[in-house]
Amino acid sequence: MSNPFLKQVFNKDKTFRPKRKFEPGTQRFELHKKAQASLNAGLDLKLAVQLPPGEELSDWVAVHVVDFFNRVNLIYGTIGDECTEQSCPVMSGGPKYEYRWQDEHQFRKPTALSAPRYMDLLMDWIEVQINNEELFPTHVGTPFPKNFLQVVRKILSRLFRVFVHVYIHHFDRIAQMGSEAHVNTCYKHFYYFVKEFGLIDTKELEPLKEMTARMCH
Amino acid sequence: MEDPAAPGAGSASTNGNGNGGGKGKQTAPKGREAFRSQRRESEGSVDCPTLEFEYGDADGHAAELSELYSYTENLEFTTNRRCFEEDFKTQVQGKEWLELEEDAQKAYVMGLLDRLEVVSRERRLKVARAVLYLAQGTFGECDSEVDVLHWSRYNCFLLYQMGTFSAFLELLHMEIDNSQACSSALRKPAISIADSTELRVLLSVMYLLVENIRLERETDSCRWRTARETFRTELSFSMHNEEPFALLLFSMVTKFCSGLAPHFPIKKVLLLLWKVVMFTLGGFEHLQVLKVQKRAELGLPPLAEDSIQVVKSMRAASPPSYTLDLGESQLAPPPSKLRGRRGSRRQLLTKQDSLDIYNERDLFKTEEPATEEEEESAGDGERTLDGELDLLEQDPLVPPPPSQAPLSAERVAFPKGLPWAPKVRQKDIEHFLEMSRNKFIGFTLGQDTDTLVGLPRPIHESVKTLKQHKYISIADIQIKNEEDLEKCPMSLGEEVVPETPCEILYQGMLYSLPQYMIALLKILLAAAPTSKAKTDSINILADVLPEEMPITVLQSMKLGIDVNRHKEIIVKSISALLLLLLKHFKLNHIYQFEYVSQHLVFANCIPLILKFFNQNILSYITAKNSISVLDYPCCTIQDLPELTTESLEAGDNNQFCWRNLFSCINLLRLLNKLTKWKHSRTMMLVVFKSAPILKRALKVKQAMLQLYVLKLLKIQTKYLGRQWRKSNMKTMSAIYQKVRHRMNDDWAYGNDIDARPWDFQAEECTLRANIEAFNSRRYDKPQDSEFSPVDNCLQSVLGQRLDLPEDFHYSYELWLEREVFSQPICWEELLQNH
């Protein structure tokens, strides 16, 4: 396997695993692609994410990360009663993408987990990062660590997976509650932000590519 | 007193229809049946129909009158009647009471009151019973319940005008001090209603007078209206150098609690106390009027909404799911872990980048015409609906969503706008600016909220928005004034305090206020359904237990219902009384409110209320502890049908128990009053694990009750942790929809600005110091010696006359040794003080 792309795809150590064989997308999974509704907040989110003059990048990014974390946590909470061990025995984004969990404790190797379990670990992990005074210093003037953006990339990639799962597997619930405008707006904001600062690999954004193209112009 | 200012006006307009039982009884029995079968099917489950409950100062007139009597007392109705008829026969021949001309009636009442002054206790009691029969509506001459209520009211006005109240007040004073009754009650192993006969008759007459005269009707004659105002004044202010009537009742409550007078009929005392306070200070609608007036006087902008109306128009939410109830208590982090949340000081940044658009824009934009994007979203709903249908037809392998309700129907249920206008406190703006200045210009400017130099444009915008929603409360002004008065007592001079009924009551209560509060809470504890009968707790059943204990099953069932009803009524009156007191004191002066609430907190009111709610609240609210055929006025005109165990079990046809729902709401409001803006008390809610308890209360589908539960949950979400919030999104959404938004409050995200170490002692001590300064400045007049010149003339100091005990010259050497020689004198301290 000399082809670097294939190597990446088949590497067992990766937590992001596009499946080789997958069922063609069903109606249910495609539902989210029609998503258009958005809150009219009266401002251009694309402009809103840009670093204001005089502002420090790390500060700007840190605040956004904390905020997105809180909001995505709530978004998942709204569909939490639907996302169970039974409904989602494997954390995935449609039939094509499966996510595995890896951390420094119990799961040293990427492990397939149910979606709710995966989400719990994911959110707990991010919370630990955010609460880490060395990574996210809280005093004005304390410098950010060198690996700050690296960690942020990981956090945002993981947060993105929550969006993927929610959109692909639970969009019906979102629509039923009438909250798609809220979720979409949050997604757009998130997407513009990671794009503006190149914080997530394009590959990771793949599962929602089509929807994103419709939603974020 | 001007008309709009008449207290208690609200109670009449909303609840004064008084024909037949409580409001609950108006519910069609059919719905009730459906409800009950539903309940049987899913006992303890989430299902509970929306309760058609209207909150108010009190229940309907008849219901309020019937609660005065326990079922054990029912025999006494006949006794009263007999006493009256015996007396009446000797005075008037050939006519009945209702056939008499008004003058003849007055003459008879005058004669009755004269005979009330006889020395013999038995004869006096008989006359008092005759008066009670009049106040109860001379039911022997009536055909219907409406008649009884009508004549009861008529007779009460007549009795009052003839001076019955003051005559009975004297008798009450006498009976309270009746040491013989006290000591005989203390010696008895079991106290029954027989021990409180006199007191019960006296208190009943007074209650009927207060309750009947308090009630306002459109058709009331001018004379009656004048009588009502006179009575109100008489009760509010001290007549003939006496204390206000409420204080006498308060002292009865404390005496009862101290165990010195176990025979006091405490339920009647509490009911009367609550009604007297409501009559003299005014009910909730009157409070609202007073608040509007006071804001206008202080030059504050008018209120954004009438909270009573907003709450009335709210709809109940369906309760959250309970699958996650288990282990919930583990989800709440222990207080020790509740250190400052990360990102809290980053708060500043979150504000400037308008990331909060969802929170804030929503509020302003909801009323605006739909924009392009919103229209799109509406259209989108239909499209998704189509998509959903397609999906169900074409792909049967995918499990359908559990909820089968059509999407569009559920969507309609979402409210258009938020019920409350958002508010911002001055403190919040100051805090926000302090953070911004610290970041951008490196120093702070204290309370200056106008200088924005050096701050970027987004901050200017934020400040502008915050200021638009700034709300200054009456309490803010009062605190400010108090600070000023404290700072410059000389230049500002004496404060002019208007002698309102509320002010007078506070002055009277001030010195024994802690005891009053403790006593009320002790009784509340004893009456709470969750508390076990303990030997050391006070016995609140003295005025419900018959002399002879029941023998048959039927009798004991009846007594069981009676006892539960009795406790419920006690809870109702205490909860309503405390709430009313807190609300009135808060309006009158914030530190009066703080004084009362601090003593409630010190007396463990917060865990007590939580304990109260830690029961199956749905079954408490639907409890059927009443026997409608035994209720006044029904029992006075109908021949009592044969009671059977079946008919007792069946209970009444009400969907819910008005008084219990009322008590629950009162207690929740009380809890809100105590914890609002008080960090350490909010932390008590967290420490006592109130979240699961409160969440269970959301099962009751009644908008007002839910609102106050949601408020209590909102103030602690920051401390319950992310997990809790995630798994309680339904509750979170309900909070968002129903509770007022505070602009800089990150309740849903947990970035707590105030996440400082939790020091209950320090916070309460600061507050206490402020309260004490207020109380001593305003009420300790004679001790104003700080500014009087110091007398340093040896002659006049030694020449002062001091009152010494008679035997002082025997012991003065000892005194000299102990108090003078053995005490080191700190000369420097002396110098510093003067």
> What is this model's ipTM?
0.73
- Point out the residue among A73, A177, A178 whose CB comes nearest to the CB of B726: A73
For residue A185, the distance in angstroms to the closest alpha carbon of chain B comes to 9
> What is the per-residue pLDDT for B644?
81
Inter-chain contact B358–A64, Cβ cutoff 8 Å? no
For residue A147, the distance in angstroms to the closest alpha carbon of chain B comes to 18
Inter-chain contact B358–A27, Cβ cutoff 8 Å? no
Contacts of A71 in chain B (CB under 8 A): 358, 749
> What is the per-residue pLDDT for B752?
53
Contacts of B458 in chain A (CB under 8 A): 52
Neighbouring residues of B336: CB distance < 8 A, sequence distance ≥ 6: none
C-alpha triplet B39, B42, B47: angle, nearest 5°: 75
Query: Which of residues A135 and B801 earns the better pLDDT score?
Result: A135
- Phi, psi dihedrals of residue A202, rounded to the nearest 5°: -60, -40
Mean pLDDT of B692-712: 95
- Point out the residue among B362, B385, B439 whose CB comes nearest to the CB of A140: B439
pLDDT exceeds cutoff 60 at B165: yes
> What is the per-residue pLDDT for B179?
82
Binding-site entries of A for Zn(2+): 83, 88, 165, 170
Q: Is the peptide bond before B633 cis (omega within 30 degrees of 0)?
A: yes
Helix (H) or strand (E) holding B307: helix B307-313
Q: Which of B352, B355, B460 to mutate: most A Cβ within 10 Å?
A: B355
CB B453 within 8 A of CB B433: no
Inter-chain contact A77–B394, Cβ cutoff 8 Å? no
Contacts of B353 in chain A (CB under 8 A): 48, 52, 60, 63-64
Which of the four pLDDT bands, split at 50, 70 and 90, describes residue B316? confident
Inter-chain contact B373–A136, Cβ cutoff 8 Å? no
Mean pLDDT of B583-610: 96
Inter-chain contact B376–A26, Cβ cutoff 8 Å? no
Considering A56-70, A152-166, B414-428, B433-447, the range whose residues carry the highest mean pLDDT is: A152-166
Query: Which of residues B163 and B4 earns the better pLDDT score?
Result: B163
CB B577 within 8 A of CB B753: no
- Point out the residue among B374, B384, B458 whose CB comes nearest to the CB of A34: B384
Residue of B nearest to A51 (CA): B353
For residue A9, the distance in angstroms to the closest alpha carbon of chain B comes to 28
Q: Which of B345, B457, B722 to mutate: most A Cβ within 10 Å?
A: B722
- Point out the residue among B340, B365, B732 whose CB comes nearest to the CB of A40: B365
Note the pLDDT tens digit of each residue in B709-725: 999 999 999 888 888 88
Note the pLDDT tens digit of each residue in A33-51: 666 667 665 678 888 899 9
For residue B429, the distance in angstroms to the closest alpha carbon of chain A comes to 20
Contacts of B751 in chain A (CB under 8 A): 66, 70
pLDDT exceeds cutoff 90 at B368: no
What's the CA gap between B655 and B744, in Å, rounded? 41
Mean pLDDT of B169-173: 93
Map residue B231 onto helix, strand or coil: helix
> Tokens in use for A100?
């595995």
Inter-chain contact B373–A39, Cβ cutoff 8 Å? yes
Q: Give Cα separations from B246 to A72, B159, B177, B196, B796 (angstroms).
A: 56, 21, 17, 20, 45
Inter-chain contact A82–B749, Cβ cutoff 8 Å? no
Query: Which of residues B41 and B784 earns the better pLDDT score?
Result: B784
- Phi, psi dihedrals of residue A17, rounded to the nearest 5°: -125, 100
> What is the per-residue pLDDT for B180?
85
- Point out the residue among B391, B414, B725 whose CB comes nearest to the CB of A28: B391
- To the nearest 10°, the Cα dihedral for B296, B299, B301, B305? -30
pLDDT exceeds cutoff 80 at B651: no
> Tokens in use for B343?
């990102």
Inter-chain contact B353–A48, Cβ cutoff 8 Å? yes
> What is the per-residue pLDDT for B707?
96
Note the pLDDT tens digit of each residue in B268-301: 999 999 999 999 999 999 999 999 999 999 999 9
Inter-chain contact A37–B373, Cβ cutoff 8 Å? yes
What's the CA gap between A30 and A35, in Å, rounded? 10
> Of all residues in chain B, what percent carry a pLDDT higher than 70?
78
What's the predicted TM-score (pTM) here?
0.79
> What is the per-residue pLDDT for B240?
64
Mean pLDDT of A75-104: 90
In 3D space, the residue among A148, A124, A107 whose CA is nearest the CA of residue A15 turns out to be A107
C-alpha triplet B528, B531, B536: angle, nearest 5°: 110
Inter-chain contact A77–B732, Cβ cutoff 8 Å? yes
Inter-chain contact B402–A26, Cβ cutoff 8 Å? no
> What is the per-residue pLDDT for B641?
75
> What is the per-residue pLDDT for B569?
97
b/e sequence B150-180, b meaning 16+ C-beta within 10 Å: ebbbbbbbbbbbbebbebbbebbeebbebee
For residue B235, the distance in angstroms to the closest alpha carbon of chain A comes to 55
What's the CA gap between B753 and B342, in Å, rounded? 10
What's the CA gap between B84 and B132, in Å, rounded? 9
Inter-chain contact A175–B381, Cβ cutoff 8 Å? yes
Inter-chain contact B729–A181, Cβ cutoff 8 Å? no
> What is the per-residue pLDDT for B785?
52
> What is the per-residue pLDDT for B415?
44
Inter-chain contact A66–B383, Cβ cutoff 8 Å? no
C-alpha triplet A50, A51, A52: angle, nearest 5°: 105
pLDDT exceeds cutoff 90 at B772: yes
> What is the per-residue pLDDT for B47?
62
User: At which residue do the structure tokens 């609906």 appear?
Assistant: B385
- Point out the residue among B354, B439, B727 whose CB comes nearest to the CB of A80: B727
Instruction: Tell me how many residue pairs between chain A and chain B have CB atoms under 8 A apart.
Output: 162
> Tokens in use for B727?
């798994």
> What is the per-residue pLDDT for B534?
62
Note the pLDDT tens digit of each residue in B554-566: 999 999 999 999 9
pLDDT exceeds cutoff 80 at B523: yes
Inter-chain contact B725–A77, Cβ cutoff 8 Å? yes
> Of all residues in chain B, what percent carry a pLDDT higher than 90?
51
> What is the per-residue pLDDT for B346?
37
> What is the per-residue pLDDT for B40?
39
Mean pLDDT of B407-414: 37
Note the pLDDT tens digit of each residue in B94-121: 899 999 999 999 999 999 999 999 989 9
Could you tell me which residues are beta bridge partners of residue A112? A100
> What is the per-residue pLDDT for B416?
56
Q: Which of B726, B732, B746, B753 to mutate: most A Cβ within 10 Å?
A: B726
Note the pLDDT tens digit of each residue in A202-215: 999 999 998 998 88
For residue B342, the distance in angstroms to the closest alpha carbon of chain A comes to 5
Query: Which of residues B596 and B260 earns the better pLDDT score?
Result: B596
Considering A22-31, B555-564, B800-809, the range whose residues carry the highest mean pLDDT is: B555-564
> What is the per-residue pLDDT for B241?
65
Which of the four pLDDT bands, split at 50, 70 and 90, describes residue B59? very high
Mean pLDDT of B776-781: 85
Kindly report each contact of residues B23-28 with a partner whose C-beta sits within 8 Å and lies 24 or more positions away, as own/partner: B23/B53, B23/B54, B23/B59, B23/B60, B23/B63, B23/B658, B24/B53, B24/B654, B24/B655, B24/B656, B24/B657, B24/B658, B25/B652, B25/B653, B25/B654, B27/B52, B27/B653, B27/B654, B27/B655
> What is the per-residue pLDDT for B479?
95
